[in-house]
């Protein structure tokens, strides 16, 4: 059985940071609704400011640093991918479409053959 490792926030400082992140998101949302009388510019500025501060604070915590590192490593792996050329992609797409049409014709033929065998020959029901 494969073991799965669950990582948790261990330090008190990270727990406090993450709690402040949640509070900043809630404060930004609350400010958005409470500042409705001041106009949409002020509303969106309050929401954007709260969310921006929450993101900055999150990325200073250990889970945020790990997430950023994961993103950096993922981007490095994406660069290693050998993407197909346009010609290869078009050929593969064409093959898939042709296969789908051939398979549809095969299934239709099989369906009509079984229908003819069962309804006309076995049961004697004529349409």
pLDDT at residue number 86: 96
Residue 97 confidence class, pLDDT cut points 50, 70, 90: very high
pLDDT at 22 over 60: yes
- Is the confidence at residue 3, as pLDDT, over 90? no
DSSP state of 1: -
127 vs 92 pLDDT, higher one: 92
Q: Is the distance from CB of 63 to CB of 14 less than 8 angstroms?
A: yes
Question: In which band, very low, low, confident or very high, does the pLDDT at 91 lie, cut at 50, 70 and 90?
Answer: very high
**Is a pLDDT exceeding 90 seen at residue 94?**
yes
Mean local confidence (pLDDT), 7-35 = 87
Sorting pLDDT into bands at 50, 70 and 90, what band is 32? very high
With 0-12 / 13-18 / 19 or more C-beta atoms within 10 angstroms meaning exposed / middle / buried, residue 58 is: buried
C-alpha–C-alpha distance, residues 88 and 94, integer Å: 10
pLDDT, residue 14, reads 86
Work out the average pLDDT over 47-67: 93
| 3-class SS of residue 125 | coil
Question: Is 70 exceeded by the pLDDT of residue 78?
Answer: yes
φ and ψ at residue 83, rounded to 5 degrees: -85, 145
Average pLDDT, the chain: 90
């Amino acid at each position: 059985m494969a073991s799965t490792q669950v990582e948790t926030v261990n330090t008190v400082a990270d727990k406090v940071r993450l709690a402040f992140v949640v509070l900043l998101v809630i404060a930004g949302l609350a400010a958005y609704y409470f500042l409705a009388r001041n106009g949409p510019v002020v509303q969106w500025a309050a929401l954007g400011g709260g969310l921006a501060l929450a993101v900055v604070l999150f990325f200073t915590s250990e889970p945020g640093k790990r997430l950023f590192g994961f993103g950096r490593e993922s981007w490095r792996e994406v660069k290693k991918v050998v993407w197909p050329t346009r010609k290869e992609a078009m050929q593969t797409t064409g093959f898939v479409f042709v296969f789908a049409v051939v398979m549809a014709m095969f299934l239709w033929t099989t369906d009509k053959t079984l229908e003819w065998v069962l309804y006309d020959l076995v049961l004697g029901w004529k349409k």
